[in-house]
Every structure is written in C-alpha cells, then in structure tokens.
Amino acid sequence: MLVARAVFPETIAFLEQHFEVEHNQADAAWSKQDLIARLQGKVGAFTTGTERIDAEVLAACPQLKVCANMAVGYNNFDLPAMTARKVLGTNTPDVLTETTADFGFALLMATARRVTESEHYLRAGKWTKWSYDMFAGAEVHGSTLGILGMGRIGQGIAKRGAHGFGMNVIYHNRSRLSPALEAECKARYVSKEELLKTADHLVLVLPYSAESHHTIAAKEIALMKPTATLVNIARGGIVDDAALAQALRDRKIAAAGLDVFEGEPKVHPELLAVPNVVLTPHIASATVPTRKAMARLAADNLVGFLVNGKPLTPLNPE
C-alpha cells in the first residue's frame, strides 16, 4: 500500500493494521516519476488531488488495483483509463458536504462585504477616519443567490442562503432537482443565461471535466451584473482566470472569491494584483474533523475493497 501524501498518523496506523504501508513523509507531492517508482509492486494507493493517475502511471504500475482519493473531486483520475485497466477509483463524498458549504458561504460573505480588502487597509495603517462609503459592499441578505452545479454541496449552500439569509435562490445544473429537493432548498431552476444575468452572487460548485473547462470565461462574465460577485469553490479550470482578472480590473463585475485556481498552487499574477478578490489556498473542506473523516473514508475504501471486497464509495464499480 502506498500513501502518496502526508496524512494523519492515525490514518497510517489504521492502514498498517491491514497492509504493509509505504508513505510519503515529506510535505510535498512526489513527481510523476517518483510516484511511479514508489507504486511498483503496490496494489493500492491512497491519493489526494495532487496525484494524477493517468494512462502512463497505470501502464507503468500493472499491479495496481485501487486508488482511494482523499477528496470528493477526482479530476486527478483518468477514470476511463482506470476502468479499462480494471483499477478501482474511490472518492470521499458526503463527509465534507456541510463543511465545504460553510466555506462557500464564508467566501461569499467575505467577498460581498470586502472583509479581506478592508483588513489589509487597516493593517497597512490607512484607517484614519470614518467615511460614509468606506468599503461599502454588496448586500447578502435578501439578494439573489445563483448556484451553478446543484449537487450535495450546492444544495448545502442553497439552504444556507434561503433559510439563513432570506436569499432568493436560483440554480442551474445538468439535471433538475426533484420538486421535493427544490422545495427543501427553496431553489428555482433557471437557464444558465438567466442565472448569469440575474444572480447577485454566483457560486460555482460543479465538477471539473473537459466539458466544464472555462465554463466561466469573458463571454459569460459579460452577462453578469456589474455589481455581482463570483465565488469558485469547485475547481480551477472551470473559470478562465485571465479573463476573470481582467474583468475584476475593469470592474465588469464587483468582486470574486476564489478557493481554487488554474494551475494551482500557482495563482495568475493579475489575480494577485487586483484588490477586489478574496484568495484562499484550496481550503474549503479544511476543518480538522472533516479532514479526518475524509482520510478515514479513503482508508476504509482501501480496506473495504482489498480486505472485504466491498468499497464504500466506488467511482467505477465493476
């Protein structure tokens, strides 16, 4: 068993009860060549979003049978290639839903109410007087919350907005929710165009794939209100970061809150240069209890599959 990134000691100890474990003790991802070298002879791998399991890795590691991702997203897996080689992939749904929805809301609030921008101003010693419009931001309560991607996390954000902040919630998704779920989320289904044109705050929660690459680019941003905010807690690559940086600089939209980036951990330099963006380093699921639950579920998937023949949350079951 290979644990490809540093993880909680209790997770390693749990895996060691069942397998011989080699684990990455450095606080950094291995290069692809190192990953391939470490995977030699291993049947299972505990991975995170930083390990790309693609056709090259699979061809070089023919003993591999299962990769358990400690993440709900799995765009680091080439799932068709894994399926073709009969390698099971698993992810960690559910255990991070509420925590990630909390963070989506935190980012929305911080962005709309200019929390980090005003903090930087204060820390820089620039606060010398009261002013009627100092850091006046956008209203959150009672505004229109747009959600693109209405899976479990999107629904969590919708409920927070509708029930906690009296927001008018609209959403767009590949498939429409059942009437019961729409009622629970107090959310109304609209076209993508109406979503872009109407939302005061647009939150992106859709999975990344070739089809969702640059779902939000210059054309889409041009449809948004100049007062709107955009929040991305999904994946880098869903937003064209260069186009977004330019739109923020030109005030085509008011502000953005981003937890994920194209090519992260690198961040587009123009995003770093504009003031009206809140930037966080992919931490939406990062609370200690949730990260422990994610690690445990990934480990349980490995034991479930390799010891009991029954993974808990398989992505490509036979």
Catalytic residues: 235, 264, 282
CB of 67 to ligand DGY, least distance (A): 14
Q: Token pair for residue 197?
A: 């044109």
| Cβ 313 to ligand DGY shortest distance, Å | 12
Between residues 71 and 88, which has the closer beta carbon with respect to ligand DGY?
71
For the bound state, the minimum distance from the C-beta of residue 210 to ligand DGY, rounded and expressed in Å, comes to 17
C-alpha pair distances (Å), 25 with each of 6, 28, 146, 238: 5, 8, 41, 32
Q: Is 245 exposed, middle or buried (0-12, 13-18, 19+ CB in 10 A)?
A: buried
- 3-state SS string for 166-208: CCEEEEECCCCCCHHHHHHHCEEECCHHHHHHHCCEEEECCCC
State the burial class of residue 174 (Cβ atoms within 10 Å of its Cβ: 0-12, 13-18, 19+): exposed
Tell me if 231 contacts ligand DGY by CB under 6 A: no
With both helix axes pointing from N to C terminus, report the angle between 97-112 and 115-123 in degrees, rounded to the nearest 10.
60
**Binds ligand DGY by CB under 6 A, chosen from 173, 285, 290, 301:** 285
Nearer to ligand DGY, 192 or 282 (CB): 282
Three-state SS letters, 6-75: CCCHHHHHHHHCCCCCEECCCCCCCCHHHHHHHHCCCCEEEECCCCCECHHHHHHCCCCCEEEECCCCCC
Q: Contact at 8 Å (CB) between 230 and 202? A: yes
Span of 65-73, 119-127, 210-218, 304-312 interacting with ligand DGY by CB under 6 A: 65-73
Part in contact with ligand DGY (CB under 6 A); list of ranges 29-37, 71-79, 172-180, 307-315 = 71-79
3-class SS of residue 129 = coil
The single residue among 57, 96, 203, 298 that binds ligand DGY, judged by CB under 6 A, is: 96
* 11 contributes a contact to ligand DGY by CB under 6 A: no
Q: Contact letters (x/-) for ligand DGY, 265-284, by CB under 6 A? A: -----------------x--
Residue 68: what residue type?
A
CB distance 70 to 46 below 8 Å: yes
Total residues in contact with ligand DGY, by rule CB under 6 A: 7
Task: Identify which of 27, 82, 50, 103 has the alpha carbon closest to the alpha carbon of residue 259.
Answer: 103
Binding piece for ligand DGY, criterion CB under 6 A, among 17-25, 34-42, 70-78, 108-116: 70-78
Is there binding between residue 237 and ligand DGY (CB under 6 A)?
A: no
The distance of closest approach from Cβ of residue 70 to ligand DGY in the complex, given in angstroms and rounded to an integer, is 7
Looking at this protein, which amino acid is placed at residue 182?
A: E
Minimum distance, C-beta of residue 73 to ligand DGY, in the bound complex (Å): 3
CB of 72 to ligand DGY, least distance (A): 4
Q: Is 203 in the site for ligand DGY (CB under 6 A)?
A: no
What is the nearest approach in angstroms of ligand DGY to the Cβ of residue 103? 10
Choice between 72 and 167, CB closer to ligand DGY: 72
The reply to whether 49 sits near ligand DGY by the rule CB under 6 A is: yes
List the end-to-end C-alpha distance of the chain, in Å, as a whole number: 21
- 3-class secondary-structure state, position 230: strand
Q: Applying CB under 6 A, which residues contact ligand DGY?
A: 49, 71-73, 96, 282, 285
